[in-house]
């Protein structure tokens, strides 16, 4: 049981480039989330999804886009990378019932230069 | 709106000392859940505990204990007889009502020196 799988683990982008951070879960969870972690700032919610075809903005959505075409996958798209997007990105999923908790991926460390 | 405050940015202790990490939360929901996560230097998030708003019993798990007090909106975490392996960033988090979105505090960096 893989849980939540994020790829890649590390990436260096040049300013203005685009990329997609991949996130996949095999637990049939309805809810999926993208967080970014900046030093000393905790984790902030970028986007979330409550099911296939349904996404919504979190606290810091600017500069990002998401889609949810299947229950399993929740990719995060950076269209024009900026240095402010240098961060560690975590994907998470939950079944939609808090008692069952949240499962986090291992993170993607992104540097924009 | 939900908010989690971890006022201690960094704590440094010597091995075998006891240490308490503070967490204060704000929410308008009557039903909510509080969490603690550990992030070791390797970077992954490790779930430690979940507590719902209707259960104010303190919990002990080995050297870890948690004190939940609704009257002061606090959910503090104590490590007894700290060890070097406890060195990590610790996050307190909150989810309220039925929105299922975790709100994190800024974290406390704990360094345990030998």
Between CA B80 and CA B20 the distance in angstroms is 9
Contact call for A31 and B9, based on CB within 8 A: no
Is residue B96 pLDDT above 90, yes or no?
Answer: no
Least CB–CB distance from B101: residue in A48, A104, A109: A48
Q: What's the confidence (pLDDT) of residue B100?
A: 78
Per-residue b or e along A45-69, where b marks 16 or more CB atoms closer than 10 Å to that residue's CB: bbbbbeebeebeebebbeebebbbe
B102 touches A: beta carbon within 8 Å = yes
Q: What's the confidence (pLDDT) of residue B42?
A: 92
CB pairs under 8 A between A and B: 49
Is residue A100 pLDDT above 80, yes or no?
Answer: no
Contact call for B104 and A43, based on CB within 8 A: yes
Residue scoring higher pLDDT (A1 or A12): A12
B105 near A42, Cβ under 8 Å?
yes
Contact call for A96 and B43, based on CB within 8 A: no
The predicted-structure confidence for A15-60, as pLDDT tens digits, reads as follows 999 999 999 999 999 999 999 999 888 999 999 999 999 999 999 9
Least CB–CB distance from B45: residue in A31, A98, A104: A104
Contact call for B101 and A101, based on CB within 8 A: no
Q: What's the confidence (pLDDT) of residue A40?
A: 85
Reported as half-sphere exposure (CB side, CA atoms, 13 A), residue B3 has a value of 5
At residue A98 the predicted structure's pLDDT band, cuts being 50, 70 and 90, is low
Is residue A112 pLDDT above 80, yes or no?
Answer: yes
Contact call for B47 and A102, based on CB within 8 A: yes
Contact call for B43 and A88, based on CB within 8 A: yes
B89 near B39, Cβ under 8 Å?
yes
Contact call for A107 and B44, based on CB within 8 A: yes
Question: Which residue in chain B is spatially nearest to A9 when comparing CA positions?
Answer: B43
CA distance, residue A17 to nearest chain B CA (Å) = 26
In chain A, the percentage of residues whose pLDDT exceeds 90 is: 87
The predicted-structure confidence for B19-72, as pLDDT tens digits, reads as follows 999 999 999 998 899 999 999 999 999 999 999 898 888 888 899 999 999 999
CA distance, residue B84 to nearest chain A CA (Å) = 21
Between CA A32 and CA A43 the distance in angstroms is 15
Is residue B113 pLDDT above 90, yes or no?
Answer: yes
* Contacts (Cβ under 8 Å, ≥6 apart) of B109: B9, B10, B11, B88, B89
């Amino acid at each position: 049981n893989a849980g939540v799988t994020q790829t890649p683990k590390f990436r260096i982008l040049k300013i203005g480039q685009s990329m997609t951070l991949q996130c996949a879960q095999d637990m049939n969870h309805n809810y999926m989330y993208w967080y970014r972690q900046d030093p000393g700032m905790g984790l902030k919610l970028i986007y979330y999804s409550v099911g296939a075809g349904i996404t919504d903005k979190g606290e810091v959505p600017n500069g990002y886009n998401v889609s949810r075409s299947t229950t399993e996958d929740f990719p995060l798209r950076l269209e024009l990378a900026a240095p402010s997007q240098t961060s560690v990105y975590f994907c998470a999923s939950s079944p939609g019932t808090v008692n069952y908790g949240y499962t986090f991926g291992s993170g993607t460390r992104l540097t924009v230069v | 709106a939900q908010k989690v405050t971890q006022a201690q940015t960094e704590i440094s202790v010597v091995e075998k000392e006891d240490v308490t990490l503070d967490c204060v939360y704000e929410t308008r929901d009557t039903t909510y859940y509080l969490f603690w996560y550990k992030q070791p230097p390797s970077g992954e998030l490790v779930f430690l505990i979940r507590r719902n708003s209707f259960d104010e019993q303190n919990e002990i798990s080995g050297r870890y204990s948690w004190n939940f007090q609704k009257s002061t909106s606090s959910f503090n975490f104590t490590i007894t007889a700290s060890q070097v392996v406890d060195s990590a960033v610790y996050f307190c988090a909150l989810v309220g009502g039925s929105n299922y979105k975790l709100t994190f505090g800024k974290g406390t960096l704990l360094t345990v020196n030998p």
